[in-house]
Structure 1
Amino acid sequence: MKINWGTGIVLAFIGFISFILYFIITMSTNDKYDFDLVTEDYYGQELQFQADLNKEKNSQALTENINWKKTNDGIVIVFPEDLDLTKIEGKVFLYRPSNKQFDFEIPISLSNRNLLIPDKRLLGGRWNIKVDWNYNEEAYLYKTEIIY
């Protein structure tokens, strides 16, 4: 059987389209190639962006900002010494960029200036920490990235 140029071009197009369709179907159905968005509520968080900038500006205006340190028990978040602990409230959100299933949130409950994030909850790798807190009805935000 003799194949002319027109038939060859059509077969090449069919082969190329078949390869692309196979690739798309494999990538969208296989869990091995699963991908996550940064956050589920992306647009809602974008609307909060200016409020977050204002909170960070408030945080930078403090005489002493929040610090963190790594210990054998986990990560310790240290709040400023000149603040009354009973008036501090908020939450700590730990975000794992590589897998959203490891993200978690801890409410701020202080008996001293330190808030411990237990070692058993943290896997090795990169973590983004976001401390969203209020003091005397003023909002503050502290963000940092750590490699644990």
Structure 2
Amino acid sequence: MKINWGTGVVIAFGLFMTFILYFVFEVQSNSKYDNDLVVEEYYKHDSHFQEEMARIQNAHDLKDKPAMVYTAEGLKITFPNTFASEKIKGNVLLYRPSNKKFDFNTAISLTGNSLLISHEKLIKGSWDVSMEWQYNGIKYLSKEVIYVN
């Protein structure tokens, strides 16, 4: 049987569509390819964007800013000595862009003027650190990206 060029084109399209559909079903059914949303309630989160920007600006305007440094012990967040540590309230969200199962939230409880998040809680890779805190009635938001080796 001889196949003409029209039949060949139809067969090629059919094989291509089968190839694409196979990968679509593979990605949707395999848990290795996790495609969750970054933020669960996107529109609710987006409606507070202006407030978030004001808190980021408050943190940016500080003369002495808190420092986030990854050391051998873990993530160390150090507040300047100009802040009274007992007046600082808030929490630190560590967000893992590759897998939300590793995300966690820690309340700010300072020892001296610093907070240490143990390296045992942090797996290797990139982390987005978002620190929401309040001092003397003013709200602040500090964001950084750290990489754990």
Q: TM-score, normalised by structure 2?
A: 0.85
Match of residue 138 from structure 1: 138
Distance in 2 (CA, whole Å) between partners of 1:69 and 1:9 is 59
Q: Distance in 2 between matches of 1:4 and 1:142?
A: 66
CA shift digits 1:28-72 (9 cap, x unpaired): 112232233322222222222211110011112222111122333
Letter in 1 for 2:123: L
Q: Which runs of 5+ in 1 are unaligned?
A: none
In the alignment, is residue 37 of structure 1 matched against residue 37 of structure 2?
Answer: yes
Q: Is the 8 A contact 2:70 2:146 kept in 1?
A: no
What is the CA-CA distance between 1:131 and the residue it aligns to? 0.6
Aligned length: 148
**2: distance between equivalents of 1:113 and 1:32?**
41
Other-structure match for 1:67: 67
Partner of 2:17: 17
Change (3 A) 1:69 1:18: closer
Q: Which residue of 2 aligns with 1:115?
A: 115
Query: How far 1:118 sits from its partner (Å)?
Result: 0.6
- Structure 2 counterpart of 1:107, which letter? A
* 2:102 aligned partner, one-letter code: F
Using the size of structure 1 for normalisation, the TM-score is 0.86
Q: Which moved more, 1:9-18 or 1:84-93?
A: 9-18
- 2:87 corresponds in structure 1 to 87
Q: Deviations over 1:78-104 (max 9, x none)?
A: 112112222211100111112111111
Amino acid at match of 2:29: T
Distance 1:111 1:6 in 2: 76
Deviation larger for 95-104 or 69-78: 69-78
Secondary structure of residue in 1 paired with 2:52: helix
Q: State the match for 2:55 in structure 1.
A: 55
Q: Does 1:127 align with 2:144?
A: no
Amino acid paired to 2:78 = V
Residue ranges of structure 2 left out of the alignment (5+ in a row): none
Once the two structures are aligned, what percentage of the paired residues are identical?
A: 45
